[in-house]
């Protein structure tokens, strides 16, 4: 089991380092900032690459919501869920700490939002709590459907990480303006600890909504796949 937890730690670390790092270090950099599209692609690439690298060891969750969804669909043991979630959160916090060390090496650096998620005045587009919750629930629900479908026994083997990576990219393209895109409580927690713009009081929403969406996605897939 320890190798699986280590794989989840590393996968989540890479997701936060690559995804949030692209937003913090390169998202709006003068002259060659990668923008929303670049950040979206970076998140997708982190999942795609680590799903191939360590997915065969742990299943490649890298996200507490995904772990809840897979358990709901009967693809993961509930008894193993706490260990996975703890490893994922620790991985996210460690990556955020590394990012902070890098970013703060620049003279005059201020953490600000630090790629954290939010609603209301902390939403990139000024969207309220209701819009944020609906966005996170629906996006995570469909993310789980893509994960469960692409990894099912009827899917072509070897291509799941590509579908999952592109799904996460699409999710970010849609929802960055609303919440800065969570769909992952660990990712939200790691950077919220270093943000200086009040991310922690809103963090509950980015645990509740993704987990609810993932559980609903797991239930829907279990129904869709009942005769397989």
Mean pLDDT of the chain: 93
Alpha helices by DSSP H, listed for the chain, are: 2-15, 21, 35-53, 55-58, 64-72, 81-103, 129-150, 160-179, 185-192, 205-224
* pLDDT tens digits, one per residue of 59-84: 999 999 999 999 999 999 999 999 99
* pLDDT tens digits, one per residue of 167-215: 999 999 999 999 999 999 999 999 999 999 989 999 999 999 999 999 9
Question: Structural domain tally of the chain?
Answer: 1
pLDDT value for 225: 84
pLDDT value for 154: 84
pLDDT value for 30: 55
Taking the mean position of all CA atoms in its chain, how far away is CA 218?
17
- The CA distance from 173 to 109, in Å, is 27
- The CA distance from 133 to 145, in Å, is 18
Alpha helices by DSSP H, listed for 54-80, are: 55-58, 64-72
pLDDT value for 28: 60
Read off φ and ψ for residue 79, nearest 5 degrees: -65, -25
Q: Is 139 helix (H, G, I), strand (E, B) or coil?
A: helix
- Residue 67's CATH number: 1.20.1080.10
* pLDDT tens digits, one per residue of 106-143: 887 788 889 999 999 999 999 999 999 999 999 999 99
User: Exposure pattern of 97-114 as b/e (b: 16+ CB <10 Å)?
Assistant: eebbeebeeeeeeebebb
- Domain limits at 87? 2-224
The pTM of this model reads: 0.93
Is residue 177 a contact partner of residue 171, using CB atoms and an 8 Å limit? Answer: no
Provide the percentage of residues in the chain whose pLDDT is more than 70: 96
Q: Is 59 helix (H, G, I), strand (E, B) or coil?
A: coil
Torsion-angle region of 222 (φ positive above 0: left; ψ -120 to 50: alpha; else: beta): alpha
């Amino acid at each position: 089991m320890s190798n699986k937890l280590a794989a989840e730690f590393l996968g989540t670390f890479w997701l936060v380092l690559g995804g949030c790092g692209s937003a913090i270090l390169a998202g709006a950099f003068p002259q060659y900032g990668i923008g929303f599209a670049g950040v979206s692609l970076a998140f997708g690439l982190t999942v795609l690459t680590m799903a191939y690298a360590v997915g065969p060891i742990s299943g490649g969750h890298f996200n507490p919501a995904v772990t809840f969804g897979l358990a709901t669909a009967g693809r993961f043991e509930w008894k193993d869920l706490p260990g996975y979630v703890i490893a994922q959160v620790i991985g996210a916090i460690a990556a955020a700490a590394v990012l902070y060390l890098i970013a703060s090496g620049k003279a005059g650096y201020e953490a600000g939002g630090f790629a954290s998620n939010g609603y209301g005045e902390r939403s990139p587009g000024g969207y309220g709590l209701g819009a944020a919750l609906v966005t996170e629930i629906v996006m995570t629900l469909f993310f789980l459907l893509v994960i469960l479908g692409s990894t099912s026994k009827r899917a072509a083997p070897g291509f799941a990480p590509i579908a999952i990576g592109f799904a996460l990219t699409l999710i970010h393209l849609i929802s960055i303006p609303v919440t800065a895109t969570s769909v992952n409580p660990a990712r939200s927690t790691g950077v919220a600890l270093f943000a200086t713009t009040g991310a922690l009081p809103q963090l509950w929403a980015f645990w509740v909504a993704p987990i609810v969406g993932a559980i609903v996605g797991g239930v829907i897939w279990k129904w869709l796949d009942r005769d397989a």
